[in-house]
Amino acid sequence: METANNDITVLVTGGSGFVGGHCILQLLQNGYRVKTTLRSLSKKNKVLASLKTGGLTNFDNLQFIEADLGDDKNWAEAVTGCTYVLHVASPIFLRLPKNEDEMIRPAVDGTIRVLKAARDAGVKRVVVTSSFGAVGYSHTDPNTLITEEEWTNPNDKTLSAYLKSKTLAERAAWDFMAREGSELELAVINPMAILGTSLGPDMSSGFELLKKILDGSMKGTPKIELGIVDVRDLAELHLLAMVNPAAAGERFLALSGGVMSLHQIAMLFREKFGDRAKQVTHKELPDWQIRLAALFSKQAKTIVPLLGRTRNASNAKAKTLLGWRPRSNEEAVLATAESLFKYNMIKDE
């Protein structure tokens, strides 16, 4: 990574989030000045506490700005003086919207709002956090590797509103760049399941699945495979894509490499944590049982579209082009579990 200094300012959108927090931490550790947007400045102390947990003691180079992806207010101020923007934020929904457009429009419009503000302010490059869901969700051939060349079909009927919003928001970003990006550069990161060390007790949604395995509330594991990336490696990949000239105009799949089934994760917990994992199931559920349960359970119904989906994707581009060296799936999974224990999300007996 190129040597950073205090003359370079980076805007991170969504600084109170799991990924945003780790991006801020690494930027400050590398000597950058950082601005970050929060939907409400009431979250400022939460961000500061998480950065302290990450080992930071000096916050002189950090500035907070209140800005919402659904409103033009303060975005011009947020990007002023910035060389780079890491657009990590996604619209937040406390409930699943009845109409998918309620989720899709804010994602698309918010991304374009950030890109326009960055372009108008003379920002050099924006790195957008998209999702593997925008790349390989429609992929059906388990025998071929999924690469950045592929796109999820937004008309796939099994696509959730969230994944559809990610797909259409990334499409809109590339379309904007081709049409009116001017001198602005764009790079996109497409992470798989984001796990790893949490900087605070507010866990991301990805932790819930592993929590259910660890605390024994999942009585049997569905046959689902995960591609995984450690959040620390994901933050590093954002920084690499930010400064490396080769990253301009490129998208990068972010995963450790290979996949892990939920059953493999359960067995890893039983192996590594002994008595702390005594409630972890060793049963793997057949697909028919999940499909049957889906007739009566909303939770099971959300799992059905994941059955039989291949997650066989390649991280070669990020490793070759940017020199990225991610941790293993096992390291990311165990770090997640340690955070769950640390913040008393699991009874550690």
Catalytic one of 35, 116, 164, 166: 166
Structure confidence at residue 276 (pLDDT): 93
CA–chain centroid gap for 75, Å, is: 22
* 127-180: pLDDT as tens digits: 999 999 999 988 877 788 999 999 999 998 878 888 899 999 999 999 999 999
* 47-62: pLDDT as tens digits: 999 999 999 999 999 9
- 8 A C-beta contact, residue 1 and residue 239: yes
Helical packing angle, 329-342 and 262-273, nearest 10°: 60
Known catalytic residue: 52? no
CA–chain centroid gap for 298, Å, is: 24
Domains in the chain with CATH codes: 9-207+226-258+311-327 (3.40.50.720)
Q: Is 2 helix (H, G, I), strand (E, B) or coil?
A: coil
Structure confidence at residue 2 (pLDDT): 44
Q: Is 191 helix (H, G, I), strand (E, B) or coil?
A: strand
169 or 3: whose pLDDT is higher? 169
317: tokens are 């581009």
- The whole model's pTM is what? 0.94
β-pair partners for 10: 34, 84
Structure confidence at residue 347 (pLDDT): 65
